[in-house]
Amino acid sequence: MKKPALPALFALIALLFSACSPSPAAVTVGTARADAAEYAFYVHHNVQTIESDYGYVPNGIYPAEITDAVKADALDQLVTAQVVRLKCREFGLKLTNEETEQLKTDKQELIDSLGGKYAFLGYLRESALTDRTYDSFAENALYYNKLYDYVAQHDESIDSDEELRRFFAENYITVKYIRLGTSGDEASYTPEDAASLAEDILREAKEGKITFEELMETYNDDPMMSLNPEGIVIGIMESRGSTYLEGAFTLAENEVGGVYTAPDGLYVVKRLPVSASYFDENRDAIHESVIEWKYSQQLEEWKTQTTVTTSSVYKKINLENYMDYVK
């Protein structure tokens, strides 16, 4: 392959490291405009997630339902990031000089560790990033934490003993589960065998002729559950993104539910009450969970109050061409 002329190569590098965006606008969130390169990164992240978690490899073109789901998740993530920045601006939350300098230092250390700017550009491309979006996403993490601290400091109910106990009662449960592993080198079952067996286990558990604990001992292949036969206490925030834990919160106490599908296998779950002593023994962790919950709820409220519009460019982006917009 013929090497590009040096002036053209230098121009390319200058463009990649420029603060100006050659990427067209894709989404407008309130008064903020996010370009196609930013949106493409979130698409890339979600594509990688479905491929790694579920082992899904497309045969040429992704089905419409997967494309729609990935694009919707990517849009929601982008909107969250933009709303965080808008609220930080509204509340006067800015990055300090020290934070800005630390970001520069961290970036340079990464460049050096990779072997220089050329290698860094390769890293960016593989990650669906540009130099500009890399900087923006690094800042996003700091703004997210600043807004988190702001919400925690300005919501007096967070420190109320009554609020903590109410939150604990409504949002903590004990779970026992039976996992039938279907992925990885240590998979115990084929997906077909696991599906049939899971339905049998669920039926037997609901009939009650065999205790859930006996079924756990016989069929569960998850070491974590085996090490905690009395059950595992989880909070509402820990359950997010987990089909079987989210499912457990929909059950009544002592009810068995399923079959829940997860990346590592199939689950049958039983919900149990939390011991009375757990609150006093874990008060600090519960307090932190309350803050996370309040912050999450506040973010969702702000998002619903913010006008979001998508451009014609957004509509053209799909799971096959999104890398074309990383520029």
Encode the chain (327 residues) as per-residue pLDDT tens digits.
444 444 444 344 444 444 445 689 999 999 999 999 999 999 999 998 887 766 666 666 788 888 999 999 999 999 999 999 999 999 999 999 999 999 999 999 999 999 999 999 999 999 999 999 999 999 999 999 999 999 999 887 777 888 889 899 989 999 999 999 988 776 788 889 999 999 999 999 999 889 999 999 999 999 999 899 999 999 988 888 888 999 999 999 999 998 999 888 999 999 999 998 999 999 999 998 889 988 999 999 999 999 999 999 999 999 999 999 998
Domain ranges in the chain are 25-154+300-325, 165-274
The yes/no answer on whether domain 165-274 falls in CATH 3.10.50.40 is yes
Please, are residues 180 and 189 in contact by the beta-carbon 8 Å criterion? yes
CA distance 20 to 187: 49
CA distance 208 to 292: 38
CA distance 122 to 126: 6
Helical H segments across the chain, by residue range: 6-16, 36-54, 64-90, 97-114, 117-126, 131-154, 161-171, 191-207, 212-219, 223-227, 243-249, 277-281, 283-304, 312-316
Res 57: pLDDT: 65
Q: How far is CA 241 from CA 215, 263, 298, in A?
A: 26, 11, 19
CA distance 319 to 63: 10
Sheet with strand 308-310: strands edge to edge: 32-35, 25-29, 308-310
Instruction: Tell me if residue 63 falls in helix, strand or coil.
Output: coil
Q: How far is CA 170 from CA 81, 241, 250, 252, 273, in A?
A: 29, 19, 12, 12, 11
Q: What is the DSSP string of 75-103?
A: HHHHHHHHHHHHHHHHTT----HHHHHHH
Longest dimension (CA), the chain: 79
Res 232: pLDDT: 94
Query: What's the pTM value of the predicted model, to 2 decimals?
Result: 0.77
Res 322: pLDDT: 95
Res 18: pLDDT: 43
Res 155: pLDDT: 80
Please, are residues 55 and 183 in contact by the beta-carbon 8 Å criterion? yes
Res 26: pLDDT: 95
Tell which CATH classification among 1.10.4030, 3.40.1350, 2.60.40, 1.10.20 matches the domain 25-154+300-325: 1.10.4030
